Amino acid sequence: MGTDSTTGTLFLAPTPIGNMDDMTIRVRDTLSKVDVIACEDSRVTGKLLAKLGIQSRLISYHNYNEEQKSSTLLALLKAGKNVALVTDAGAPGVSDPAYRVVTLAIAEGIKLVPLPGPTAIIPALTGSGLPLDRFFFEGFPPRTRSGRKKRFAELRELPHTLVFFESPQRIGSTVSDALEVFGSRPACIAREISKIHEEFIRANLDELTEVLKSRTLKGEIVLVVGGKQKVKRVKVNKYPQN
């Protein structure tokens, strides 16, 4: 089904994950012009819009109301309204809600415009020092140890560099499980990307487990692990290069 010129456009608008200057001019301009902004948390998005001097109608759209609000957004789009979908930080749909309304919009022939912008995945990869020719983004691993080890075993034979999101509370256990399943591969913990305390800890998994025994990490974390291939071992970077 082709797009209908009488319908609105759905914009997927990435927002800063740290530094406000990461927001593109195009995203800022889009947010200032759309009829509605669908957001995870109106308090978070409201503060962002206030800093940008943008006034717009906000509608909540998060994991707990996605099914209901997808229908609401679709009705607005069919009525000719332009809608921007944002999350609290980063790109909509990357471990954040967006998939349902995107698939509905595509099925109805509504124009979809995914805007480039901030994401933690690419900076974590490029700053890790690991091969970038092929990578596999897994998102958050299972919360339980048995679940993580089972999933890691399924990924063990991949030659791709592996990328995971993880919480500060579970990163120690996750690195320990990764070491047990993958062996001591080169890895990198990328923490607080684009924020004041940005840090890259580059080491092999066995060395990372030792680092995490003496450190309590805070903030947003991306774990990058080398794939199954021969790559040079690296020494732990105790002092981040900011």
Could you write out the three-class secondary structure of the chain?
Answer: CCCCCCCCEEEECCECCCCHHHCCHHHHHHHHHCCEEEECCHHHHHHHHHHHCCCCEEEECCCCCHHHHHHHHHHHHHCCCCEEECCCCECCCCCCCCHHHHHHHHHCCCEEEECCCCCCHHHHHHHHCCCCCCEEEEECCCCCHHHHHHHHHHHCCCCCEEEEEECCCCHHHHHHHHHHHHCCCEEEEEECCCCCCCEEEEEEHHHHHHHHHHCCCCCCEEEEECCCCCCCCCCCCCCCCC
Domain count, the chain: 2
Q: Are residues 101 and 19 in the same domain?
A: yes
Q: Are residues 102 and 134 in the same domain?
A: no
Q: Which pLDDT belongs to residue 1?
A: 34
Tens digit of pLDDT at every position of the chain (242 positions): 334 568 999 999 999 999 999 999 999 999 999 999 999 999 999 999 999 999 889 999 988 888 889 999 999 999 999 999 999 999 999 888 899 999 999 999 999 999 999 999 999 999 999 999 999 999 999 999 999 999 999 999 999 999 999 999 999 999 999 999 999 999 999 999 999 999 999 999 999 999 999 999 999 999 999 999 755 555 555 545 55
Q: Which pLDDT belongs to residue 97?
A: 85
pTM over 0.85: yes
Regarding beta strands 186-191 and 199-204, do their DSSP bridges make them parallel or antiparallel, or are they unpaired?
antiparallel
Q: Which pLDDT belongs to residue 63?
A: 81
- Within 10 angstroms of residue 49's Cβ, the number of other Cβ atoms is 20
Q: Are residues 125 and 162 in the same domain?
A: yes
Q: Are residues 98 and 129 in the same domain?
A: no
Q: Are residues 76 and 172 in the same domain?
A: no
Q: Are residues 83 and 146 in the same domain?
A: no
Q: Are residues 64 and 128 in the same domain?
A: no
- Give the range of the structural domain holding residue 148, as residue numbers without chain letter: 121-225
Q: Are residues 104 and 145 in the same domain?
A: no
